[in-house]
């Protein structure tokens, strides 16, 4: 029986979690990117080769690139889009020539995953990432002061957000802003002024315009991907619904069907992230995977726990709204049909034990992910009957 490929996200030589740490966790593949290269610039072949050598000397395979960021000029299809697409094409070619052919990316406007708190303390004393609608409204209504933002919230949410804003200290407000504008760990942060300008621009583009720009991007790299055997995997929006007036186009089954139909070529695939999708309709994930499985080339496994208001925190990998057993069953069944094992990684993890005393990338401390990988590994083995 074929096992899934166990991988681990690593932010490179500056990551507080070392390759030796990862080896002790039991992963065999590395998921990484050249975070030191600014968004939109070409990844030189020698830089790719250097990173690959470090990974392989430590006994791993560079399994997936996560991610080659898609420049905002491409997402908005500005006058500079063609330049950045050409850079992207060259980066893909350089990666493929170094033997790295699975690429994860997202098409979320401006912000990557968004959370309002990075250190929610759970009952066992560990800390988790958290998304709270009231705190988002505090930022949106009273700090960002987005035009017409009031229309996106109910009266009760607006009232509670106002009370919370008036009672928060300056330090708490600054921390909330930092959390929301985190951007991508290890890459860059976003500023409020930049965000407001982007929101205005995306209000004219809209969800349909953003969908068309995604298809334009995929069509523009299709020949490189097909010629070099590259698999592109789009990561779901996180959270999978509009926030801060920014459109979302990759949050549910219909979105992914649209993306696949829009550029119906084998290279055009999906990163199936149970955490991002679980913040939406978690009960449908096993069915969703079954309908999309032919185009799933990479998997993120984590869990979320929602409350009645739609707030959610990142739960233990096997304990939350996502029925990880049912999801893993369909993943394991599909993996048996593949010539090459599907790579997956334990996505995010609680900050716990000794990591509580360390500075780590939010969601990417070592011990919480080690626990998650161990649990997921055991779940897979149980399903395989080993």
Distance, CA of 76 to CA of 58 (rounded, Å): 40
Active site residues per annotation: 235, 273, 300, 347-348, 364
**The two structure tokens encoding residue 264:** 């119906």
Give the torsion through C-alpha atoms of 250, 252, 253, 256, to 10 deg: 0
Peptide bond preceding 309 in cis form (omega within 30 of 0):
no
- pLDDT attached to residue 107: 97
Distance, CA of 106 to CA of 228 (rounded, Å): 21
Average pLDDT for 225-236: 98
**Comparison of pLDDT for 5 and 195, the residue scoring more:** 5
Average pLDDT for 102-128: 95
The yes-or-no verdict on residue 157 having pLDDT over 90 is yes
Which strand ranges, in their side-by-side order, compose the sheet holding 117-121?
117-121, 127-131, 312-315, 303-306
Distance, CA of 369 to CA of 123 (rounded, Å): 18
For residue 313, give the nearest of 220, 230, 254, 239 by alpha carbon: 239
Residue 129 half-sphere exposure toward CB, CA atoms < 13 A: 25
Reported as a pLDDT band with limits 50, 70 and 90, residue 194 is confident
- pLDDT attached to residue 188: 56
Reported as a pLDDT band with limits 50, 70 and 90, residue 191 is confident
pLDDT in tens, 297-312: 999 999 999 999 999 9
Distance, CA of 171 to CA of 273 (rounded, Å): 33
**Comparison of pLDDT for 186 and 65, the residue scoring more:** 65
Which domains are seen in the chain, by residue range? 5-114+206-384 (3.20.20.150)
Distance, CA of 125 to CA of 182 (rounded, Å): 24
Give Dmax (Cα) for the chain: 59
Strands 303-306 and 268-273 turn out to be unpaired
**The two structure tokens encoding residue 95:** 């990666």
The yes-or-no verdict on residue 189 having pLDDT over 70 is no
The yes-or-no verdict on residue 186 having pLDDT over 90 is no
**The two structure tokens encoding residue 185:** 């760990």
Distance, CA of 87 to CA of 224 (rounded, Å): 12
What DSSP string runs through 305-319?
EE-TTS-EEEE-TTS
- pLDDT attached to residue 111: 87
| Strands (E) located in 24-85 | 29-32, 61-66
Looking at every residue in the chain, the average pLDDT score rounds to 96
The yes-or-no verdict on residue 26 having pLDDT over 70 is yes
**The two structure tokens encoding residue 308:** 């009645």
Containing H/E element for 262?
helix 253-262
Distance, CA of 30 to CA of 26 (rounded, Å): 11
């Amino acid at each position: 029986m074929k096992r899934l490929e166990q991988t681990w996200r690593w932010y490179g030589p500056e990551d507080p979690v070392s390759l030796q740490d990862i080896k002790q966790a039991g992963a065999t593949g590395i998921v990484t990117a050249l975070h030191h290269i600014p968004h939109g610039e070409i990844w030189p072949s020698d830089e790719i080769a250097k990173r690959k050598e470090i990974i392989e000397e430590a006994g791993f395979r560079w399994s997936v690139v996560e991610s080659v960021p898609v420049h905002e000029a491409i997402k908005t299809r500005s006058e500079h889009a063609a330049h950045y697409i050409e850079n992207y094409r060259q980066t893909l070619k350089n990666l493929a020539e170094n033997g790295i052919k699975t690429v994860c990316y997202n098409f979320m406007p401006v912000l990557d995953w968004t959370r309002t708190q990075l250190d929610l303390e759970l009952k066992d004393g560990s800390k988790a990432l958290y998304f709270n609608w009231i705190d988002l409204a505090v930022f949106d209504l009273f700090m960002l002061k987005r035009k017409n933002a009031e229309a996106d919230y109910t009266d009760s949410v607006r009232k509670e957000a106002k009370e919370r804003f008036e009672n928060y200290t300056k330090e708490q407000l600054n921390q909330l802003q930092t959390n929301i504008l985190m951007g991508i760990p290890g890459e860059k942060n976003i500023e409020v002024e930049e965000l407001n300008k982007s929101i205005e621009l995306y209000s004219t583009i809209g969800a349909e315009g953003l969908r068309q720009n995604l298809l334009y991007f995929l069509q523009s790299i299709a020949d490189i991907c097909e010629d070099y055997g590259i698999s592109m995997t789009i990561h779901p929006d996180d959270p999978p619904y509009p926030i801060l007036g920014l459109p979302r186009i990759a949050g549910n089954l219909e979105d992914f069907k649209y993306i696949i139909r829009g550029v119906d070529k084998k290279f055009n695939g999906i990163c199936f992230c149970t955490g991002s999708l679980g913040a939406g309709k978690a009960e449908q994930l096993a069915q969703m995977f079954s309908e999309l499985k032919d185009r799933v080339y990479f998997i993120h496994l984590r869990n979320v726990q929602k409350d009645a208001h739609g707030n959610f925190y990142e739960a233990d990998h096997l304990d939350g709204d996502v029925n990880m057993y049912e999801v893993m069953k369909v993943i394991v069944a599909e993996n048996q049909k593949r010539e090459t094992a599907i790579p997956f990684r334990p996505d995010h993890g609680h900050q716990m034990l000794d990591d509580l005393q360390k500075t780590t990338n939010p969601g990417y401390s070592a011990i919480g992910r080690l626990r998650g990988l161990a649990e997921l590994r055991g779940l897979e083995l149980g399903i395989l009957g080993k």
